[in-house]
Structures are given as C-alpha cells and as structure tokens.
Amino acid sequence: MDKLQFTADVIKSIVSLAWPAAFVAAVWLFREKLTELMPLLRLRYKELDVSFRLDQAEKDASQLPGVSESPNQPTPEEKSRFEKLVQVSPRAAILEMRSDLEEALTAAYRMSDPKNAYKGASMQVMIRTLRQNNNIDEKTAGVLDDLRAIGNRAAHPTSADVFTIQDAERFRDLVRRVSVQFNSELSSGSILPG
C-alpha cells in the first residue's frame, strides 16, 4: 500500500463516519424540539403499536390539580353503551368520548366568558382561550390538547391510525378525569370570567 492508497482509505473511512456523526450532532442540537415532538410520534411494527401522545396525556393527567385518582364511575347504561361501541369500533368509541369532552370544554369556556363565548369555537380556540385567561393551568391545557389531537386523528384517520380497544379505554379514562375537573371547577365557581 502506497501513500496515495493509504490517504484514500483514511478519507473513505472519515466520510463513512460522517453521516452517523452528523445524525448524532443533529439530535444533540435539536434535542429540545425533539422532546416536544415525541408526543406526536406513533410507531407501529407488526403487533407493536406505540403512541407517545396518549402516554404523555396519561402522565400529565396524573399531575392535574384537584383530580382524584378514581374519577366518577359511569352509570351502568353508559358503561354498557361504551363497551358495546368499543367492541364494534374503538375509533367510534373515541369519537363518542371526544364529543363528551367537547361538551365539558364548551361549558367551561362559556362560563369563563359568557359575553364573548360564541358557539362555533373550535376545541383548540377554547383551550387556548381558557389557558390565556388563566382558567386552566398548563398541565390541563396540555392534556386537553393531547386529547383533542387524538380525537382529531380518530375523526380523520389515515392508514397508519389503528385504534385498539385499550386505546379507546385509556382515552375514555382521560376524558373522565378531565371532565371531573371541569365539573368541580364549574360547581365551585373557580372558572370565573377572565
């Protein structure tokens, strides 16, 4: 091996290590943004399905102020209806629970600003307004936004969106937990005009 061949081999080695080094550098530089995007990520491989958004919502919901670990239990009729629906279509069960969440959110939104609360506000606008008026804290707003996004994914599915019975049950539990908080805040009057 002469000097020229040796130099070419060294350069080749350096070039072959460049893309892994660039990848590591990019992850390091954008680590804060990547942690923000992780809840949006959903991975599927054969039977393994990982949705970070639902996991993040559960984690945040456990830290909500004034929410007990065991939210109000559904009536037997509600439980039976949900169980029947989730067996037929977990996606439809998620949409049904999203509708319940939207009703609770709408009541809180209207209570927070009766003069300016208009009927056609989207969930995102209601969440943002309640947060800006300090009617809900950052964690609650985060959970609500996660639930809104999951509900939107159920309403507008792609080929990658496959909801399981467990996903629907987890979604239901989160909606109940947040709805209990809204109901207690509405009844105690802590959601006041901003």
Q: Are 157 and 44 in contact (CB under 8 A)?
A: no
Q: Which residues of the chain have pLDDT under 70?
A: 34-54, 56, 63-79, 115-119, 158-161, 182-194
Give the pLDDT score at 74.
63
**Rounded to whole angstroms, how far apart are CA atoms 54 and 153?**
12
At residue 44, the 3 state secondary structure works out as: strand
pLDDT of residue 77: 67
pLDDT of residue 78: 66
pLDDT in tens, 102-158: 888 888 888 777 766 566 788 888 888 888 888 887 888 888 888 888 888 888 876
CB 189 within 8 A of CB 168: no
Note the helical H segments in 62-137.
76-88, 90-112, 123-132
For residues 118 and 126, what is the distance between their CA atoms, to the nearest angstrom?
Answer: 10
* Per-residue burial over 168-184, b = 16 or more CB atoms within 10 Å of its CB, e = otherwise: bbbbbebbbbbbbbbee
Name, in order, each residue with C-beta under 8 angstroms of 157's C-beta and a sequence gap of 6 or more.
Answer: 91
pLDDT at 193: 47
pLDDT at res. 168? 87
What is the distance between the alpha carbons of residues 123 and 106, in angstroms, rounded to a whole number? 8
What's the confidence (pLDDT) of residue 185?
59
Give the torsion sign (CA, 119, 123, 127, 132). Answer: negative
